[in-house]
Amino acid sequence: MRTAFPRSSSGPRIGQLDALRGLALGGILLVNIGQIMHMSGIVDLRKLPIPHVLDMTAHQRFFPLFALLFGVGFGIFLQRAGAKAQRPRLLLLRRLAALAVLGALHHLLQPGEALLPYALFGIVVLLPLSWVPRWINLAIGLTMTVVLTVLFGGGLLLVPGLLVTGFALAQLGLPDALDRLGPHLLTAFVVAAAGSVAALIWQEQDPLSAGFTPSSAVAGLTMAVAYATGLLLVLRTPVGRWLAPTLEALGRMALTNYITATLLIVSFGAALGLEDSTAWPTMLGFAAAILVVQALWSRWWLARFRYGPLEWAWRCVTWWRRFDLR
């Protein structure tokens, strides 16, 4: 899928991956506001309606997709860097180190944020496996994801397996083959949707512990696949062609939007009465407002510049030279 945005000098953009990142960002925002503002979802040992719906539809559903796409991004970067530099893994190491610094700073505002674990697991797990054959990496990534889901019920421990799985998919050329998946997408969506229904029924047996159980992790993974394949199917329709530019813009500036969302939450969340509250309707309105602002901002920015602000800085640090922003 092609966009009207200026092309990045790092190589052609894959619009469907950007759209998936945009979707993941929106879902993660719905979870992060409540966590950052320490909102309560349980009153008198009963789950409130809105957080209960979010437990069923958003919590642990979008971060697996986000982590997988980061792994895909690292795989694409290493392939393209290999065509331009003699030591591409050194560039990937620098890229991961820069992400770790940014993640550590972000952690001060949002404990439990994702960037620092992505960077650390990338250095410890992903870099060594970059010498391993791609099919073995895919098997390792899938096995790690399944085993850690069963043993620990998901959470951040799923990150290394998801990163490796995404990295292996990039090695296998899946991003460039998205347009050719055709009917396989529908099959994957139907299977994932059926699995999601079963996992949700399992999760619903213990709603007060949602997000911290194996049932939540399994539901999160199956629904992440359903969301991803569902969106890819929608993008092939007239509705998708209308929706794609907005989601792609959000996804192309994923790093910038992820960080600025936290800044907006910290700056305005307490003033809106969200801190230590149960004001979930206000939270939903706030999330919608942030997404609208970021969508408009991202499309405006990318119509004028090649990269988002933090994406540009990250690229300059990775290659240790200044790139033209326009």
Would the pLDDT of 3 be above 80? no
pLDDT tier for residue 113 given thresholds of 50, 70 and 90: very high
Q: Which residue has the higher pLDDT, 302 or 212?
A: 302
Q: Mean pLDDT over residues 163-192, rounded?
A: 88
Q: Mean pLDDT over residues 178-190, rounded?
A: 86
How many Å apart are CA 150 and CA 143, to the nearest integer?
11
pLDDT tier for residue 101 given thresholds of 50, 70 and 90: very high
Contacts of 129 (CB under 8 A, 6+ apart): 137, 140, 164, 167
Confirm if 268 and 116 have CB atoms less than 8 A apart. no
Q: How far is CA 287 from CA 28, 60, 108, 133, 231, in A?
A: 10, 17, 21, 42, 20
Return the percentage of the chain with pLDDT > 70, whole number. 96
Would the pLDDT of 105 be above 80? yes
Please write the tens of the pLDDT for every residue from 24-57.
Answer: 999 999 999 999 999 999 998 899 999 999 999 9
pLDDT number for residue 13: 60
Would the pLDDT of 175 be above 90? no
Q: Mean pLDDT over residues 56-72, rounded?
A: 94
pLDDT tier for residue 4 given thresholds of 50, 70 and 90: very low
Would the pLDDT of 159 be above 50? yes
Confirm if 47 and 41 have CB atoms less than 8 A apart. yes
Please write the tens of the pLDDT for every residue from 241-286.
Answer: 899 999 999 999 999 999 999 999 999 999 999 999 999 999 999 9
Please write the tens of the pLDDT for every residue from 124-150.
Answer: 999 999 999 999 999 999 999 999 888
